[in-house]
Structure 1
Amino acid sequence: MNAPKASLRVGIAIQLSAIAGGAFAANVVIRNPTFEELARLTVTSVTGTARPQFTAPAAATVLTAEELNYIGVRNIPDALRYAPGMQVSQFNAHQWSISARGFNTIAVDKLLVLVDGRSVYTPLWSGVYWEQHAWLDQDLDRIEVINGPAGSVWGANAMNGVVNILSRSARDTMGTALTVGTGTEDEAFGSFRYGGTAGKNAWYRAYADYSRYDDTELGNGQPTGDAWDMGRIGFRYDRDDAANRIFVKAEAQSGNFDEPGFIPSPTPPYQTRPPRGYNHGGFVQASWARRLPEGSEVAVGAWFERLERQLQPTNEQSNTLDIGVRYVTRLGDAHNVAAGAIYRYIEHETTPTFVLTFTPRDRTLHQWSVYLQDEVQFHKRFGATLGVRVEDNPFTGTEWQPDLRLSWSLTDQQLLWAAVGRAVRTPTVADESRTFVNQVSPPGSFGPGSPPVIHEVLGSHSLESEDLVAYQLGWRGRWGSDAMASAALFYNDYKRLILYEQQPLDTVTQAPDFWLLALIPFNVGSAHAHGAELTGMWQPMPRWRLFGEVSYLDLKVVPAELPLASNISGSTAQVQASLRSNLELGRHWEIGVGLRYVDDLPAQNVDSYVGADVRVARKLTEGVKLALVGQNLWEPRHAEFRSTSFPIDSYIQRSVYLALTWRR
């Protein structure tokens, strides 16, 4: 059977109901995968329906739980370091900056992240609170990484890429699992899960996790003061019979965070220690899919999330409700159509502080969208996917995002694909209405007798959406049953980027106590980016697999005379590369090695570095495994990110941890 027709039939048979924007989850579980299973992984995040990764017309990478476990990865950011095109920078113990294909700033706003199909971006600034979602779930199935725009499927803010984190169905996690561990940086961690049946064709699991992390290190070797801990409890229920598929998941988390450094203050010495931070919240998520005749399916789903968070500089509470419906049908043997609609309601409250104030302090946001995806197989070797999404948001009104993807199966072992699409990044609550004080200069800083000067970043209600048109070309190939590779080329054209312009010194508004020096956002920026991403997998022996990734990115943001434009251009790692080795020695030993190279960031004065991760595991008895893991072993410590908004030079240290896992 040729690859395109196989792709179509798999998509029709599985019909995963991953609703765009967030209501549904479906999983393909792989335990101890063979090379052939890895080569035939499905991916849902490209078009919203399942298809083999090999035939997906996108720069798609799938990281399975098994391969991540081999190198001892314990959190999602560290996992994403091994995905091509992803730039992961940790700037203290509990904060990361993660982007796809550039724009890696303190507040990344062009990457959409989903957990089991549920969007986890914050409407405050369109980013992700990674400390809340950094868990590498012991029941993780896989992480799908899509580089390039995916706005026609997932909506605004899926501008440079999508990360979809998928957990295993409760059907595949029956029994008991317990993990405990300790280390130099991961001071204490543990997880417990119990799963079982809930009647015919129904399964459940309950789980709990806890982790405590040590401080990072300052340049003088002293602790940064950013230690943190977080706990989580949750429940999942799955039912799957001939006619229906039901999914329910609920989770609550609570974490406490030491805040490093100082924050601005209106009184001498014009800075103070921040209070200890916290992040509390939870969600409930459910979906129901009904299988219809002739391969059609209709699905409805919803999720509700509550968040209470105080971590500098924000102090916020929010309630989010997302409701969606999706219909998939087959129009002949070579034609699939999917359509859907989504409504999202957000209540957002903030507590004003000297550092950050929103006007108004509370917002209620309504957002809706409709979308259509049309997949056609014109010939046994040619296929096309045309999608469009129309979205109405409270900041810029109606936005539309089209996408066209073409695939050509050169042979059964080689695929060529191309794509062109438009995506937008809408303004946020912060872009519109914030007053953020990032510094207070003491008296006399601006001349003899001058009062203290408040440096602030303001919002604007006149902003438009940022716009991207992306062009992509890719290839995938297989060589027998032990090697495969892929390559992607891209060119991105950005318009109406939001950049900040310095305003004249204001000596009147708060005189005589203060002068003001403000930055105001405008849609005055543009950018061009081009690059390439290469991946490969080779199995030289039955029990030894090698994975390699390398990426190149050249990003130029203009006008270069604006500080933020030059900072974005110079905060992009032009070259990144990684190599992983997974080796089984006999029946009882596993050895995993991961090597990573990240280029320098000249705008941040961050040097290039090499990361090395090593895991050695021993199977003690049936179901019991002991693992010793070393992370960042290449050098004692290294810096990954610096920002004038958080002027703390934290260094990521070499670390070791020991973990014991028991399953039955």
Structure 2
Amino acid sequence: MFAGPSPLRSSLALALLFSDTLLADDLFLENLPLPQVLTATRLKQSPAAVPGSMTVLDSELIKASGSRDISELLRLVPGMMVGNINGNQAVVNYHGSNASQARRMQVLIDGRSVYRAGLATVDWSDIAVAMEDIERIEVFRGPNTVSYGANALMAVVNIITRAPANSHGTRIKVSRGQRGINDWYASHGTGWDSGDLRLSLSGQEDDGFDSDQRGADYHDSRRLNRINLAISQALDEQQSIDWQLNAKDGSNQRPYTYRPVFPGITAAGDNSDVTAKNYSSSLRWNLDLNPEHSLYIQGTAQHWDRQQTWRACDAEISFSPQLAALWQLDPNYTERLARNMDSFTASGAPRSTPEQEALANKALAQWRGGANRTVCGNIDQSTRETRYDLELQDTLSLSDSLRLVSGLNYRYDRADSETYFNGTLDDTTTRLFGQLEWRATEHWLVQGGAMYEKTRLIGDSLTPRFAINYLITPRHGLRAVYSEAVRSPDMFENNVNWSYRVTGLNPTAYGRPSARYFVKTRGPGDLEQEHMRSRELGYNGSFTHLGLNLDVKLFHDEITGMISESLRNNQFIASNSNTARFQGAETQLDWRLSAADRLRLTYAYVDAEASSPQDQQLTAHNSGSAGWLRDWGSGWNSALFYYGDDALNGYRFERLDSRLAKRIALGKASLELAGTLQQRLDNQPNTFADNYYDSRHVLYFSAELVF
């Protein structure tokens, strides 16, 4: 399907052709309002004036896609690599990097970060927002530490929910289909003289992948329920408050992957399922001093609770103090000993010291003296993370040609895990940010900004961005952007204190009912931030009389000080020793061919080079999507989408999605019946070898009543 970067040349030629023949006509349409985006700089800007690349997934596109998950929607974003760890764990990276850890992208819900600082992850399946509550998704495709701080290293995804004022009435929706799909949604919105409210309840279920590569049940289903409350209240002509409350409760199955360390031991468990709970609340006070000056203060509180316990069996010697001491001296030596207890000779081992030999001989004596017996107990791998965030932002028009947005932010993060941190670890972050937009002439727009950030565990950083936009007309702009960005090591990478305590041991180990495994991993504690330098050239144009929007981007990004080590309790030694380079081109086209037809195309060519092979795993050289939306009249509409990646973690991905819907008027109410069919066009697993479905297609139906 993909043959290389030739679509880029076609897009550039198309842009030049339109520039010569159509821009003059565009001058007669300047009385029409310009579309606005907010995520790029925190200032409302037209797409042509943005200092970077933007993709906006609007409500029409979201609904037509038939997507059940936000991660699936992001396949419509050029350069976004979307895969799966298992059926209830999606992985999303912009341009790529590690296939199982998406650490370098900031994800926001109405400006509130859901990136978990403790374990450097975004739980896409557990985001406490229903698809039906989303108004649009704005994606800034590029580094944006300047606006959103560390972790906005490669991209920013801002999920913007529907305003309560636009949610009046009642909606009820149910979806049923293959693979155990069982979703539901209900909401009610109302208003009064000075305010509005929306309450929504939703649930989601499916069975995940059917089997692994050996044909065994994969055990990766999910079940979740959500509640969302949004209230907007005007206090007077200048002041208003917005309040949100979100909660999510559910369970995610996990394949039982524990394997005993010592030979001859049989594993005792059959699952390591996770009970996942999210709670969040935010309160925002808005003040419009005058048309040229506004500010807000927003406070948020969030809590993530992941309860995970499982049963494990191993040899009693797993809890030997001598073996634990030996591990601290030399993990490699200790692992060889543990794997070969019956044949290991301490004095003959290479690179051993007298101290190591003495400890090894004591462990061998314990093994031969009966410590090879099987003991079983319970492991608690639960984690809890809490965040409190306070932000002040001021937006000021200094003159007709000069605008400034500035602010400060204070955040407190706490992670609690007996397994990963041997208790509790916390951190504080302070930020100062500013972005200046100067309209030098009718055509030239100069923008600059910086973010100063200081964290207690890592230190401070200053990241700048500078951009020049040449506006051919207000709807057509060329841009050149240079920016720097950072990613702070998360608590796990830098400060992990990882060991497993096993409780309820039966029989007891060395006379104790609970004990820790001999394997223990400590973080380095002195990691520095990853640093990116990004260069971008681009064009954005809106041909209003044609209903056509076009964006083209050339990019060159370099990351240094990269932390690439996999997060596993087996000699995990994090370092800043890796680098990566991403360069290439992207284009997106959104064309309303007529009042009934809409065509949307995206393509990305990414050339990646990384010092660690893991950081090239989730990079497809060629990827893209194509969509056709059609309103047939009489309440009928359809959508057809193609998604393709030439190699994600070595596996090709091609899928065709089709949706057909019929809206039926029922007096003042309406009923929509819809069916969605997803058909894989390849015969490959999804991202990893164990991610298999018995059938290459899935069909599901929905019914939505609005009154």
Q: How far apart are the structure 2 equivalents of 1:429 and 1:502?
A: 12
Asked if residue 278 in structure 1 is aligned to residue 275 in structure 2, the reply is: yes
Q: How far apart are the structure 1 equivalents of 2:247 and 2:571?
A: 39
Query: Hey, what does 2:38 align to over in structure 1?
Result: 44
Q: Is the 8 A contact 2:118 2:414 kept in 1?
A: no
Query: Hey, what does 1:350 align to over in structure 2?
Result: 417
Q: How far apart are the structure 2 equivalents of 1:632 and 1:459?
A: 44
Asked if residue 587 in structure 1 is aligned to residue 654 in structure 2, the reply is: no
Amino acid at match of 2:551: S
Query: Hey, what does 2:562 align to over in structure 1?
Result: 497
What SS does the aligned partner of 1:66 have? helix
Higher RCO (C-alpha under 8 Å, 6+ residues apart): 2
- For residues 317-357 of structure 1, the C-alpha deviation after alignment (integer angstroms, 9 at most, x for no partner) is 122110111111111111111111111112221132xxxx3
Q: Is the 8 A contact 2:129 2:228 kept in 1?
A: no
Match of 2:592 among 529, 533, 539: 539
Asked if residue 470 in structure 1 is aligned to residue 537 in structure 2, the reply is: no
Match of 2:71 among 77, 81, 101: 77
Asked if residue 96 in structure 1 is aligned to residue 78 in structure 2, the reply is: no
Q: Is the 8 A contact 1:98 1:104 kept in 2?
A: no
Q: How far apart are the structure 2 equivalents of 1:476 and 1:524?
A: 37
CA distance change for structure 1 residues 136 and 489 in 2, over 3 Å: closer, same or farther?
A: farther
After TM superposition, the structure 1 = structure 2 runs for residues 133-532 of structure 1, keeping only pairs within 5 Å, are 133=127, 135-197=129-191, 199-218=192-211, 219-240=213-234, 242-266=237-261, 268-269=265-266, 272-293=269-290, 295-310=292-307, 314-352=381-419, 357-358=420-421, 360-434=422-496, 458-479=522-543, 480-500=545-565, 518-532=571-585
Q: How far apart are the structure 1 equivalents of 2:680 and 2:31?
A: 31
Q: How far apart are the structure 1 equivalents of 2:461 and 2:622?
A: 34
Unaligned runs of 5+ in 2: 1-28, 310-379, 501-516
Q: Is the 8 A contact 1:489 1:533 kept in 2?
A: yes
Asked if residue 663 in structure 1 is aligned to residue 706 in structure 2, the reply is: yes
Q: Is the 8 A contact 2:554 2:585 kept in 1?
A: yes
Q: Is the 8 A contact 1:552 1:574 kept in 2?
A: yes
Q: CA deviation at 1:502?
A: 13
Q: Is the 8 A contact 1:615 1:628 kept in 2?
A: yes
Query: Hey, what does 1:16 align to over in structure 2?
Result: none
- For residues 608-662 of structure 1, the C-alpha deviation after alignment (integer angstroms, 9 at most, x for no partner) is 1211110000112241100011123435x642222xxxx8444595211110001
Deviates more, 1:424-433 or 1:473-482: 473-482
Query: Hey, what does 1:31 align to over in structure 2?
Result: none
Amino acid at match of 1:631: Q
Q: CA deviation at 1:109?
A: 0.7
CA distance change for structure 1 residues 500 and 301 in 2, over 3 Å: closer, same or farther?
A: closer
CA distance change for structure 1 residues 133 and 386 in 2, over 3 Å: closer, same or farther?
A: same
- For residues 179-217 of structure 1, the C-alpha deviation after alignment (integer angstroms, 9 at most, x for no partner) is 0110112521111000101x3231001110011111312
Amino acid at match of 1:132: D
> With structure 1 as the length reference, what TM-score do the two structures score?
0.83
Structure with the higher fraction of residues in helix conformation: 2
- For these two proteins, the number of residue pairs brought into alignment is 584
Q: Give the alignment's Cα RMSD to 1 decimal.
A: 2.7
Query: Hey, what does 1:629 align to over in structure 2?
Result: 676
Q: Is the 8 A contact 1:186 1:211 kept in 2?
A: no
Q: CA deviation at 1:387?
A: 0.8
Q: CA deviation at 1:314?
A: 4.9
Q: CA deviation at 1:482?
A: 2.5
Q: CA deviation at 1:220?
A: 4.4
Amino acid at match of 2:56: V
Query: Hey, what does 1:611 align to over in structure 2?
Result: 655
- For residues 537-559 of structure 1, the C-alpha deviation after alignment (integer angstroms, 9 at most, x for no partner) is 2222320010000001111112x
Q: How far apart are the structure 1 equivalents of 2:58 and 2:567?
A: 46
After TM superposition, the structure 1 = structure 2 runs for residues 643-658 of structure 1, keeping only pairs within 5 Å, are 648-651=690-693, 653-658=696-701
Q: CA deviation at 1:458?
A: 5.0
What SS does the aligned partner of 1:395 have? coil
Q: How far apart are the structure 1 equivalents of 2:174 and 2:166?
A: 22
What SS does the aligned partner of 1:78 have? helix
Q: Is the 8 A contact 1:184 1:214 kept in 2?
A: no
Asked if residue 641 in structure 1 is aligned to residue 687 in structure 2, the reply is: yes
Q: How far apart are the structure 1 equivalents of 2:151 and 2:655?
A: 30
CA distance change for structure 1 residues 234 and 383 in 2, over 3 Å: closer, same or farther?
A: same
Q: How far apart are the structure 1 equivalents of 2:570 and 2:47?
A: 51
Structure with the higher fraction of residues in strand conformation: 1
Query: Hey, what does 1:24 align to over in structure 2?
Result: none
What SS does the aligned partner of 1:379 have? coil
Q: How far apart are the structure 1 equivalents of 2:304 and 2:526?
A: 29
Q: How far apart are the structure 2 equivalents of 1:539 and 1:557?
A: 40
Q: How far apart are the structure 2 equivalents of 1:297 and 1:265?
A: 61
CA distance change for structure 1 residues 457 and 578 in 2, over 3 Å: closer, same or farther?
A: farther
Unaligned runs of 5+ in 1: 1-34, 439-452, 504-515, 559-564
Q: How far apart are the structure 2 equivalents of 1:134 and 1:200?
A: 29
Q: How far apart are the structure 2 equivalents of 1:343 and 1:536?
A: 39
Q: Percent identity, aligned pairs only?
A: 22
> With structure 2 as the length reference, what TM-score do the two structures score?
0.78
Q: CA deviation at 1:246?
A: 1.4
Greater CA radius of gyration, 1 or 2? 2
CA distance change for structure 1 residues 334 and 567 in 2, over 3 Å: closer, same or farther?
A: same
Q: CA deviation at 1:309?
A: 0.6
What SS does the aligned partner of 2:131 have? coil
Amino acid at match of 1:662: L
What SS does the aligned partner of 2:385 have? strand
Amino acid at match of 2:249: S
Q: Is the 8 A contact 1:92 1:650 kept in 2?
A: no
Query: Hey, what does 2:328 align to over in structure 1?
Result: none
Amino acid at match of 2:385: S
What SS does the aligned partner of 2:613 have? helix
What SS does the aligned partner of 1:521 have? coil
Q: How far apart are the structure 2 equivalents of 1:415 and 1:270?
A: 62
Q: How far apart are the structure 2 equivalents of 1:211 and 1:40?
A: 37
Q: Is the 8 A contact 2:128 2:247 kept in 1?
A: no
Q: How far apart are the structure 2 equivalents of 1:502 and 1:263?
A: 15
CA distance change for structure 1 residues 570 and 633 in 2, over 3 Å: closer, same or farther?
A: closer
Q: CA deviation at 1:40?
A: 4.5
Q: How far apart are the structure 2 equivalents of 1:217 and 1:454?
A: 36
Amino acid at match of 1:478: S
Deviates more, 1:247-256 or 1:294-303: 294-303
What SS does the aligned partner of 1:331 have? strand
What SS does the aligned partner of 1:535 have? strand
